[in-house]
Amino acid sequence: MRVVQKFGGSSVADAESIKRVARRIVAAQADGNEVVVVISAMGDTTDELMDLALQVSPQPRPRELDMLLTAGERMSAALLAMAINDLGATARSFTGSQAGVITTGTHGNARIIDITPGRIVSALAEGDVVIVAGFQGVSQTSKDVTTLGRGASDTTAVALAAALDAEYCEIYSDVDGVFTADPRIVPGARQIPQIGYEDMLELAANGAKILHLRCVEYARREHVPVHVRSSFSDKPGTWVKDIDYEEGGMEQPLIEGIAHDRSEAKITIVGVPDRVGEAADIFSVVADADVNIDMIVQNVSREHEEATDISFTLAQADGPKAIAALQAARERIGFVDVIFDDQVGKVSVVGVGMRSHPGVTARFFRALAAADVNIGMISTSEIRISVVVDIDDVDKAVRAGHTAFGLDADGEAIVYGGTGR
């Protein structure tokens, strides 16, 4: 049986951790499996390399930044291969490029176009464990090294599992699986034994860090079952897969979990003329600046007659270029001012069961009110309710929602390592 395993940075944070992971991989091969391993950079190496780059250059060129950041994964791949070889097995490490990960040319956020795993298949046929540096590939056009964006080692692993026709993809981290909330915030969070792709997509899109969003999208599209578990224990983890509740005679859970995101900011455009097409103009400007937006709210302006105020959320990192683009269009569009607020966070309640259960919104909002949490913005989908709150209220809001929907467990979840950075 062919399996793909991915180990995160906290699982290989130091020499002892690398040796422990090596023992697990060798055991998997000894069970008769062909094993391909995707590895992240050790600990917080990527963050440290980024900090170093910014000390050297305030605005490093994206191509050189990719050359630097991919060094972290190459380092851990080589060290892990050494550890496996010392245990009597044979392992070979590959960069993303050597493994055949072909990407678009966008430095810092490339997308996988194709995988040509010929060298991996050859190495497996010779009985080797294959170690692939995650988070990276090679541009189809320029042949330069590219990175796939933060957290994209998950995506590399699932893409390789699909290309190699693996039975499943195991993703190892510092917790025992997917939980109903971040155990660092809610110690009583419960582990979810299995979860459908749809719910997992919403959780990942709204801040749950356990799986990268593009990884879940890829897994759903290619029907790759993903097993999320801890590299620090042998406990069964969480299966992310197609779940047919009707066929299994199971009721859909009302709420699967609560996600939070502290990396968003809010922009309010004050005094937008109340005319047809103004919103289209504003969001065209934002789109042309290559900025993704999340939640949008439009209100009648308190201070300006025949005008509206439009607020939207976006990634904090995109704030400066969105502000610059809007200020450049200010006179043409005719709005009064732009206000930027990075002291906000988003809290989301997710569950496919809310499609058929009224009163979910009321219960969530009552819990927030009881916890003295003020709501700044609201957004909903069929299976999600998201609110924007003050950054200092995020933890309080997560705990309040978790308790309100009866998700608290009796014991405490174990976080084996990692800083959550």
CA dihedral 292, 295, 300, 305 (to 10 degrees): -20
| Residue-level pLDDT at 41 | 93
Q: CATH number, domain at 396?
A: 3.30.2130.10
| Position 37 pLDDT exceeds 60 | yes
Residue 116: give the domain boundaries.
2-241
- For 21-35, write each residue's pLDDT tens digit: 999 999 999 999 999
Among the three residues 241, 263, 285, which one is the final residue of a domain in this structure? 241
| Residue-level pLDDT at 252 | 59
Task: Please give the Cα distance from 228 to 236 (Å, whole number).
Answer: 9
Tell whether 36 and 173 lie within a shared domain: yes
Q: Quick check: is 421 in a domain?
A: no
| Residue-level pLDDT at 421 | 38
Q: Quick check: is 307 in a domain?
A: yes
- For 229-283, write each residue's pLDDT tens digit: 988 888 899 999 988 765 554 555 678 999 999 999 999 999 999 999 999 999 9
Tell whether 237 and 264 lie within a shared domain: no
Task: Please give the Cα distance from 99 to 120 (Å, whole number).
Answer: 6
Q: Quick check: is 412 in a domain?
A: no
* Alpha carbon distances (Å) from 96 to 28, 115, 183, 191: 23, 10, 32, 32
Q: Quick check: is 191 in a domain?
A: yes
Among the three residues 241, 270, 305, which one is the final residue of a domain in this structure? 241
Tell whether 311 and 360 lie within a shared domain: yes
Tell whether 218 and 313 lie within a shared domain: no
Q: Count the helix, strand and coil residues of the chain and give each as a percent rounded to the nearest 5.
A: 35, 25, 35
Tell whether 232 and 275 lie within a shared domain: no
Say if CB 26 and CB 89 are below 8 A apart: yes
Q: Which residues pair with 298 in a beta bridge?
A: 310
Q: Is 285 left (phi over 0), alpha (psi -120 to 50) or beta?
A: alpha
Tell whether 289 and 380 lie within a shared domain: yes
**Other CB atoms within 10 Å distance of the CB of residue 126:** 9
CA 279 to the chain's CA centroid:
30
Q: CATH number, domain at 182?
A: 3.40.1160.10
Tell whether 225 and 349 lie within a shared domain: no
- For 371-412, write each residue's pLDDT tens digit: 999 999 999 888 899 999 999 999 999 999 999 999 998 777
Token output for 153: 């080692």
Q: How confident is the model at residue 214 (pLDDT cuts 50, 70, 90)?
A: confident
Planar angle of CA 138, 142, 147, nearest 5 degrees: 35
Q: Quick check: is 306 in a domain?
A: yes
Token output for 117: 């795993």
Tell whether 37 and 142 lie within a shared domain: yes
How many independent structural domains does the chain possess? 2
Tell whether 208 and 356 lie within a shared domain: no
Q: Which residues contact 3 (CB under 8 A, 6 or more apart)?
A: 28, 33, 34, 35, 36, 161, 166, 167, 168, 169, 170
Closest CA to 347 of 193, 251, 208: 208
The predicted model scores a pTM of 0.83
Q: What percent of the chain has pLDDT over 70?
A: 95
Q: Which residue has the higher pLDDT, 367 or 251?
A: 367
Tell whether 75 and 121 lie within a shared domain: yes
Among the three residues 241, 261, 296, which one is the final residue of a domain in this structure? 241
Q: Quick check: is 248 in a domain?
A: no
Q: Quick check: is 415 in a domain?
A: no
Tell whether 283 and 196 lie within a shared domain: no
Tell whether 185 and 326 lie within a shared domain: no
Q: Which residues contact 165 (CB under 8 A, 6 or more apart)?
A: 2
| Residue-level pLDDT at 254 | 79
Q: Quick check: is 192 in a domain?
A: yes
The greatest distance separating any two alpha carbons of the chain, rounded to the nearest whole angstrom, comes to: 77
Say if CB 387 and CB 347 are below 8 A apart: yes
- Residues 317-343, mean pLDDT to the nearest whole number: 93
